[in-house]
Chain A
């Protein structure tokens, strides 16, 4: 059962590791790269706790054989904060009480980040659609949707003030 060397980018940094066949992207992120924010909830693509961004698009890392994404760019929750400065999504999740046990939170935030990158002005229905692959047992979802909407507003505000400063 020969292993292969896989190189890819995670949160902007080059990563390289040895991997056995059958290793998923999720396994590689958690065990080889040491990034454990992404969770293994079902290993079937039905719970969403493993959601990461692959070239900017949300995918279930538990379903991706890591060899098939060699050379690609992955973003996980660990890449959001800039040192001590939280990402607006992280801030909003705290402010809106959108996280209780925390198990769904990484997947929810990454799905939301994928949404906001394509649609800076989502409706609640857009948010519901974007997180429809993510299960939460604790919050009842409304605070999560509130948090994503609040983050979108924050990000729009800072984008427009950056634009004003540049002009």
Chain B
């Protein structure tokens, strides 16, 4: 049973609240925390809400993007400067869910949920993490591996906008909408003189958390984006992926379709 819901008016008060109660958890939109709370076995005693902390500002200055961690996915989906991310946003839940779900919250779920986290991994995004001891920047990659301290609040996410023609995203689902992922592919393939330089390929549905397909990235390095390079890289995805079985798909199926959806993500159908 919950002991308290705290709705602090500023971040300092929120951090104090978290530091004080060992069974307290940050709540953003509630789409991940409340289902846990409703089962009654979450072990949580208190929730510290981000609702009044004004951590929802979206700033796009040139190619530098900073998004408040409590910005809803709906708000990100309405930001014209982030049009490249809109297909990914549209693939998460439903518009109703996205009016609550936050971009920061997407870092704290398990696959096959967390498609924006897959994107942020491919974007080499960083998060600003605040505790009573101060704030610092931590890579999203590290947060996905280790989480954050129990009494920390992610306050912002930042990344550089990819150049046109270098960002690719696809989420394979059982339904046309409102479904978790079979596999999710997010790829940033920056081009130098038409050749890939600094490839980033992130996968969902291939482990408890989003993973980087390092061998596929290495195979793409220096290549043009074409059927040949995509096929070669697609065959290497599985070497860094651990697709699992759940209600949506079997590990066999995810493995089987992973290179297909990778090809479709980058080259179209």
Contacts and interface: CB of A to CB of B under 8 A. Distances in A.
A51 B35 CA distance: 16
B47 interface: yes
Nearest to B37: A22
Nearest to A107: B96
Q: How large is the interface on A (under 10, 10 to 19, 20 to 34, 35 or more residues)?
A: 20 to 34
Contacts, number: 95
A111 B94 CA distance: 11
A63 B3 CA distance: 17
B38 A129 contact: no
Given A22-B1, A63-B34, A67-B7, A132 B94 contact: yes
Contacts of B2: 1, 21-22
Q: How large is the interface on B (under 10, 10 to 19, 20 to 34, 35 or more residues)?
A: 20 to 34
B97 A133 contact: yes
Contact of A68 (B1, B3, B7): B7
B128 to A, nearest CB: 22
- Interface majority SS on A: helix, strand, loop or mixed? mixed
A35 to B, nearest CB: 18
Interface string A98-131: 0000000000000100100000000000001110
Contacts of B29: 63
A37 interface: no
Interface in B33-75: 34-35, 37-38, 46-47, 49, 51, 74
A133 B49 contact: no
Contact of A63 (B51, B74, B100): B100
A155 interface: no
Nearest to B49: A68
Contact of B94 (A1, A48, A62, A65): A48
Contacts of A44: 34-35, 38
Given A22-B37, A44-B34, 14 more contacts: A22-B5, A24-B34, A44-B35, A45-B31, A57-B99, A63-B35, A64-B30, A68-B30, A70-B7, A130-B95, A132-B95, A132-B178, A133-B93, A133-B94
